[in-house]
Amino acid sequence: MAKPAGRLIAAAVVAAVVLVAGSLAIGRFTAPVPPSTPSNTSAEAGFSRDMQVHHNQAVEMALLIRDATDDPDVRLLAYDIATSQANQSGQMLAWLNTWGLPQLASEPSMTWMTRPTIDGSPDTHGHTGNLPGAMPGLATTAQMDELAAATGPEAEVIFLELMIAHHKGGVEMAEAVLARSNNTVVTDLARAIVKAQVSEISVMESMLAARR
């Protein structure tokens, strides 16, 4: 028959084991769950591919205006846009490589924006009304040719008009993925895009008004 002191020690050991086991279980239940790898047709993959295209055109537009004007404010804005969006485009290319997904989509561009939001609620930005292939804010070939042919103040106005529309489209795409993704790597960048481009839209609208 165990002595009372022995029973107390045994009970204490059992209690400690239960407490540790319970703590570990709580830790497993409360620890952040890493996001699963996006699929080839996920919003994350579609956003990564399409925003690369969108960003790369913005970089091209920014380089064109830097060659077409001597205005220091426009040139500084163009430099900021070119460097930031080239960097972000590289990040999104790297995501696809990390996820083991091809850079080319297996479906029309912007298809991901036609799909339901995470919670199934109506998309207040109207993204579900977009047709596959229609990339918001993207300049046409004719518009890009017009910018490339212009110089001086004329080029500045064309650039600002195109880039304001381009940024608004970029914000729309970023908000669309925020409504469709819980992947923190993707949503962190999307929020950064919204914040930066909304700010730049305000700056460009003021610059455009001063040139009209």
At 140-166, the pLDDT tens digits run 999 999 999 999 999 999 999 999 999
Confidence of residue 119 (pLDDT cuts 50, 70, 90): confident
C-alpha to C-alpha distance for 25 and 29, rounded to whole angstroms: 6
- Note whether 18 and 85 are same-domain residues: no
Q: Residue 100: which region, alpha, beta or left (left: phi > 0; alpha: psi -120 to 50)?
A: left
Tell me how crowded residue 134 is: count the other CB atoms within 10 A of its CB.
14
- Note whether 6 and 79 are same-domain residues: no
Q: What is the pLDDT of residues 51-98, one digit of tens each?
A: 999 999 999 999 999 999 999 999 999 999 999 999 999 999 999 999
User: Structure pTM?
Assistant: 0.80
Expressed as residue numbers, the domain containing 99 is: 43-210
**Domain total of the chain:** 2
- Note whether 23 and 89 are same-domain residues: no
- Note whether 99 and 7 are same-domain residues: no
- Note whether 9 and 110 are same-domain residues: no
